[in-house]
Chains A and B, each alone.
Chain A
Amino acid sequence: MNTTAVPDTGEPAVRKNSPGAVRGPRRPGRARRTALPYLLLLPALLLEILIHLLPIVIGVVMSFKELTQFYLRDWGAAPWRGLDNFRFAVDFDTPAGESLLKSFTTTCLFTVLSVGLCWLLGTAAAVFMQETFKGRGFLRALFLVPYALPVYAAVITWAFMFQRDNGLINHVLHDQLGLTDSPSFWLIGDNSFWALLIVSVWKGWPFAFLIIMAGLQNIPKELYEAGALDGAGVWQQIRKITLPSLRSVNQVLVLVLFLWTFNDFNTPFVLFGKSAPEAADLISIHIYQSSFATWNFGAGAAMSVLLLLFLLLVTGVYLFFTSRGRKATDA
């Protein structure tokens, strides 16, 4: 590295973006100058490749291999199976395919409900918190507690509360309010779906609240004042001013919540352990079970690849439609 070159690279960088600089005659420091931003990006790029891209590539390779316990130690030597793993995963006439399909539909329903409720609660709370009142700061901090708690600690506490004989939920529902004839099971059987949904919404809505609250701060007060002058009530203001102004914030929020919820592993794993009840068998747990319980890592990888493709498709379609809508409104 030539030390005299350093002042050279620093100063004219300001002009870099102007068209004249690009077309101008080559100067000695130019190559180094234009390379600098890329050099600075390089560590991030390398890490991105190492942490994200490479495992994905390895996962895809694994999905074409017969990766069982016999090849675990040297998985490069596992024999190729072509598309067999995929056929095995989506053969809906066998228990493996059938349960994958069931798990997939359960996850879809669960995600729609969870994201919907998170969004509703988050919006309601954010709108409510726009007014200044005594104790607002405290309440706002309180709302964010589920978001700030470590997932494991929070979910294991829920697991205790959902216990049939000693849990708080049944104590309130059955012993105190007398709403049920006998104490219900929450961690096994059909109720487990609702138990999981409750924990998921509890955990997810503060994030929605936080993002929407930030979005609300960007709406000019004048809009509301003008609306009020024109005689718009609170409800009309929310419908005609708040929601349209939050449009782009909501688009990102819903997408992120969707991806997180669809892929969530921690919540069901801590709540139910290694084998989730059938009613709450989310796809992430299902794939874990398929890989680690039967040590059929090839089939598990195939399922993961299918899941990735599905999420890419949904995200692509979603972005296509929402960005088209945004251009239309922006115009």
Chain B
Amino acid sequence: MRRYRAVASGAVAVSLLATATACGGGSSAGGGGSNESPKTLTYWASNQGPNIEADKKILEPELKKFEEKTGIKVKLEVVPWSDLLTRIMTATTSGQGPDVLNIGNTWSASLQSTGALLPWDEKNFSKIGGKDRFVEAALGSTGAAGSDPAAVPLYSMSYALYYNKKMFADAGIEKPPATWDEMVATGKKLSKDGKWALGAEGGNLSNNIHQVFVLGKQHGADFFDAEGKPDFTSDGAVAAVKQYVDFMAKDKIIAPGNAEYAQNQSLSDFAKDKTAMVLWQAAASTFKSQGMSDDEWGVAPVPVQSGTPGQGKNVNSMVAGINMAVFKNTKNLDGALEFVKFMTSDEEQKLLCKTYGSIPPVKAAQNDPAFDRPELKVLRDTLATSAEALPQVPSESQFETVVGTAVKNLFASAAGGGEVTTESVKAELAKAQQQMPQQ
């Protein structure tokens, strides 16, 4: 008995110890990092290129440059897109995160609400050259309105309509559709003999969200009300989701097989002349890696309901892109800021965005002639005049999952031959809304 008690008390001591250390990670609630280890930084980069190895090859020479300049060694880890959010959350819980990291810009407000990221106040911004260096649209998705941004824009992107010139020529079509009505009419001409007009990634939750968010804007819906509460079942939201899924269910211009796509299969269909159009952001490098030369495809703005894209209701893209954030409990605050300054410098912006096919969110870097290619011009104009940021609310990331899943389910039912009605869309969206956390 006595021995048992000794073992038990030992066990309790150990578990208390472990709990204490576990809590230790999260207990430094306030403040903003320290400079305990000024010579090293860890950096989680999101996977931007065709694969992780390619990213390492692109980034490592730049990190070397930074080391030569400042004497700070940057340990790089490229994190696949599908793991990134979970990894960030785990790091937040344990307090064992990297010093600097990339985040999807749509998650800014969600991650901001955890309190794990360094707020970019005037003082921090001044250390990287000031807020004015960045494009307004890109700054729009760095956190909730009214509070200091949680991140700094790093790469900007927007959506465009990419079309396969050969397939258009074969079908005798001269120009890409500018409105959705034209899209359906053109699409019906293209969708035959095992070929299809438009590609979709029905199994990719984020992609679903991007598409229905833009359509929602065109129908005057926001998915969140003014107080930041979910509003998924408004007439506009239902109409937007139905319109998107109907491209497969009713108009039959998206192949049913696309309902299970989630690994960019629609881009390979495009490169293999099986799908004539895709709505995508910065697809040039992927097309190249699939063996397409630059003159085999063209770019046009994403269609709108009627008229032409521009201000107001004719939003035709979300503000897509990557932000750079600093973990609040970094052990090298000065170095982290220095590194963000380096990555957002004019020179690095030109170089990295050119390689990745994205647009620099830094105004001065946009002047480089490399960004005058017709494709990038469309993307840049879209970003400047007709793109809108996803709702900057704390539950944005949950919205991506539940509404993205709703669209995925609707695509699955459409692919199986099921009918998609206003009621079925509304029911699916209501179910999604009930899964959102109560606030």
Contact = CB atoms under 8 A, between A and B. Distances in A.
A296 B71 CA distance: 42
Contacts of A185: 259-260, 412, 415-416
A293 B401 contact: yes
B92 A72 contact: yes
Nearest to A183: B257
A275 B401 contact: yes
A314 interface: no
A293 B402 contact: yes
Interface string A282-299: 000000010011111000
Nearest to A191: B416
B45 to A, nearest CB: 22
Given A275-B205, A278-B409, A293-B402, A46 B14 contact: yes
A8 interface: no
A75 B114 contact: no
B290 to A, nearest CB: 15
A50 interface: yes
B86 interface: yes
A74 B415 contact: no
Q: Which of A70, A76, A295 has the most CB of B within 10 A?
A: A295
Nearest to A34: B3
B401 to A, nearest CB: 4
A96 B438 CA distance: 13
A187 B203 CA distance: 10
B61 interface: no
B402 A189 contact: no
Contacts of A215: none
Given A73-B114, A75-B26, A35 B18 contact: no
A250 B18 CA distance: 39
B95 interface: yes
Contacts of A58: 19, 22
B260 A164 contact: yes
Contacts of B366: none
A73 B86 contact: no
Interface string B27-47: 101000000000000000000
A277 B412 contact: yes
B437 A68 contact: yes
B3 A38 contact: yes
Interface stretch (B135-143, B240-248, B305-313, B428-436): B428-436
Contacts of B116: 72-73
A188 B93 contact: no
B331 interface: no
Contact of A49 (B11, B95, B402, B404): B11
Q: Which of B202, B203, B411 has the most CB of A within 10 A?
A: B203
A256 interface: no
A188 B259 contact: yes
A273 interface: yes
B171 interface: no
A72 B89 contact: yes
A45 B4 CA distance: 12
Give the interface size class of chain B: 35 or more
B15 interface: yes
A188 B412 contact: yes
Interface in B383-439: 394, 397-398, 401-402, 404-405, 408-409, 411-413, 415-416, 431, 434-437
Give the interface size class of chain A: 35 or more
B370 interface: no
Nearest to B399: A294
A39 to B, nearest CB: 10
B155 to A, nearest CB: 24
A50 B18 contact: yes
B435 A273 contact: no
A278 B412 CA distance: 10
A73 B260 contact: no
A29 interface: no
Contacts of A145: none
A153 to B, nearest CB: 16
Interface string B83-122: 0001001001101000000000000001001111000000
Contacts of A53: 15
Given A46-B11, A73-B114, A165 B257 contact: yes
A74 B116 CA distance: 10
B343 interface: no
A69 interface: yes
A57 interface: yes
B76 interface: no
A320 B23 CA distance: 40
Contacts of A188: 202-203, 259-260, 408, 411-412, 415-416
A74 B257 contact: no
A73 B202 CA distance: 33
19 contacts: A42-B10, A45-B11, A46-B11, A49-B11, A70-B113, A70-B115, A73-B92, A76-B26, A163-B260, A164-B256, A164-B260, A188-B202, A189-B412, A189-B413, A275-B205, A275-B408, A293-B402, A294-B402, A295-B398
Q: Which are the 10 A-B pairs with shortest beta-carbon distances? A: A74-B26, A293-B401, A188-B412, A165-B257, A95-B434, A275-B405, A187-B260, A294-B398, A189-B416, A164-B257
Given A72-B114, A295-B437, 6 more contacts: A38-B3, A70-B113, A95-B434, A96-B435, A164-B256, A277-B409
